[in-house]
Amino acid sequence: MTQVFKFGGASVQDAAAIRRVGELLARFRARPLIVVVSAMGKTTNALEALLAAAREGEAADYQERLETLRREHLTTVEALFGDRAGPVKKRVESLLTELDQRHRRHARRERPFHYDQTVCFGELLSTTIISAWLDEIGMATEWQDARDLVVTDDCYQAANVDWQATAERVRAMASDNDRIHITQGFIGGTVEGTSTTLGREGSDFSAAILAHCLDAEEVTIWKDVPGIFNADPRRVDNAVQLEQISYDEAVELAWHGAKVIHPKTLGPLQQKSIPLTVRSFEDLEAPPSTIGQDTRFDTQTPSLILREAQTLLEIRTRDFTFMDEARQHDILGRLVEAGLHAGLIDAGAMRLSLSLDGHPERLEPLVASLCEDYAVERCDDLTLLNVRHADDALLAALSAGRDSLAERRNADTAQRLFPGSQCRGTWHIPR
């Protein structure tokens, strides 16, 4: 049965990382194997900056950024191929020329369209180099253009998958079983042949799309960390790895803001009971984390998610009337229009409290509109603590010395909103 591997930007960021991918793939003889790859390192950010420079008419800045991209990719090619680099360098050069031409052709079009025609080159570049490297070390690979495989609508920058058309094309590709198929994450194409993207960090989702269409045995996401943790190890000094969690638990963690896996990834896998494994490419012996059907381990380890830069809005009616369903509907409707997500929602008789991510450009117009009809109290720079499967003692310990400004709790998740100034630095989960 088919295996799908996904390598993110960090795992292909330079020649050493790409060599490691080659060594890793050489150990896995299982076929068929589909390999989904992101753009190298921070290339997508660099392409976004390049596009912004172009759209703001900063021609010199654009040229310089294009040159930096060329230099970085060519340096990797030279480091990998040495004096045999010629043909691959030529392919990289011609992709960059195509990028430049496309950008110029579409510069007057609306930004999302222009974005997708330009930013898709990050993944085209990385897969071109990696596929050539795998051929160089004697592995039979087939480079696939994901824009011909993942068929989407024309909702640029957040394209929706046409599952049936995609399944037909993906199955036709995979009928050739002996070779490793290498393709791009993050990108797709319309039936008319324009390039689309699936949303930032969308390569995990790409792997899930292909796995779903092929009824794959498993998806493996290779990372520079051994797996999924119960808290961000950079913030929490005793974070532990979760070796086994269910799709539901993973979705909850992602929903509350954990950078576990792109949230769209889990649906297509859950529908077909395809497990998703997160493993370290740096330590192949380290036990991985697996997301699957089994819910038995979900409640064993409490997880902690800190969401920073929150704004609390306490919204009250002005005339001592209830905050009833009609008013909640009105307020939440304005939130949807503003494109804002509330990490915490709590209602009282005459009050609705919302904790919102502090996007100033979206928040300010929303607050202005709410102030026209309601009494609004606002508090900025807060940290929202989300704890899954906490008991009272753990919650009390985590809250000690911190002032809770809003809270909410259900059977499996507790949320508390604290002043950001009380939450900086390293956290510790008391046991």
* Residues near ligand ASP (CB under 6 A): 8-9, 38-39, 44, 122, 185-186, 200-203
In the chain, the amino acid numbered 37 is: V
Distance between CA atoms of residues 179 and 151, nearest Å: 23
User: Which one, 123 or 314, has the nearer CB to Mg ion?
Assistant: 123
| Least distance to ligand ASP, CB of residue 19, Å | 20
Residue 200 contacts which entry, ligand ASP, Mg ion, none (Cβ below 5-8 A, type-dependent): ligand ASP
Bridge partners of 244?
290
Residue 152 contacts which entry, ligand ASP, Mg ion, none (Cβ below 5-8 A, type-dependent): none
| Least distance to ligand ASP, CB of residue 108, Å | 25
Residue 289 contacts which entry, ligand ASP, Mg ion, none (Cβ below 5-8 A, type-dependent): none
| Least distance to Mg ion, CB of residue 291, Å | 20
Contact indicator for 295, 249 with CB cutoff of 8 Å:
yes
Structure tokens at 107: 């510069």
Determine if the peptide bond prior to 268 is cis (ω within 30°).
no
| Least distance to ligand ASP, CB of residue 119, Å | 8
User: Which one, 38 or 280, has the nearer CB to ligand ASP?
Assistant: 38
User: Which one, 9 or 302, has the nearer CB to Mg ion?
Assistant: 9
Distance between CA atoms of residues 386 and 418, nearest Å: 11
In the chain, the amino acid numbered 90 is: K
User: Which one, 261 or 344, has the nearer CB to ligand ASP?
Assistant: 261
In the chain, the amino acid numbered 164 is: Q
| Least distance to ligand ASP, CB of residue 197, Å | 8
Region for 194 from its dihedrals, namely left if φ exceeds 0, alpha if ψ lies in -120 to 50, beta otherwise: beta
Residue from 3, 38, 126, 310 in contact with Mg ion (CB under 5 A): 38
Distance between CA atoms of residues 419 and 402, nearest Å: 8
User: Which one, 52 or 375, has the nearer CB to ligand ASP?
Assistant: 52
| Least distance to ligand ASP, CB of residue 258, Å | 16
Longest dimension (CA), the chain: 79
Residue 202 contacts which entry, Mg ion, ligand ASP, none (Cβ below 5-8 A, type-dependent): ligand ASP
6 to 25: interface string for Mg ion, x by CB under 5 A: ---x----------------
| Least distance to ligand ASP, CB of residue 187, Å | 8
In the chain, the amino acid numbered 47 is: L
User: Which one, 9 or 226, has the nearer CB to Mg ion?
Assistant: 9
User: Which one, 146 or 366, has the nearer CB to ligand ASP?
Assistant: 146
Query: Which distant-in-sequence residues (6+ apart) come within 8 Å of 402 by Cβ?
Result: 416, 418, 419, 422, 423
Contact indicator for 413, 387 with CB cutoff of 8 Å:
yes
| Phi, psi angle pair for 274, to nearest 5° | -95, 120
Packing angle between helix 15-27 and helix 121-136, nearest 10 degrees?
60
Residues that bind Mg ion (CB under 5 A): 9, 38
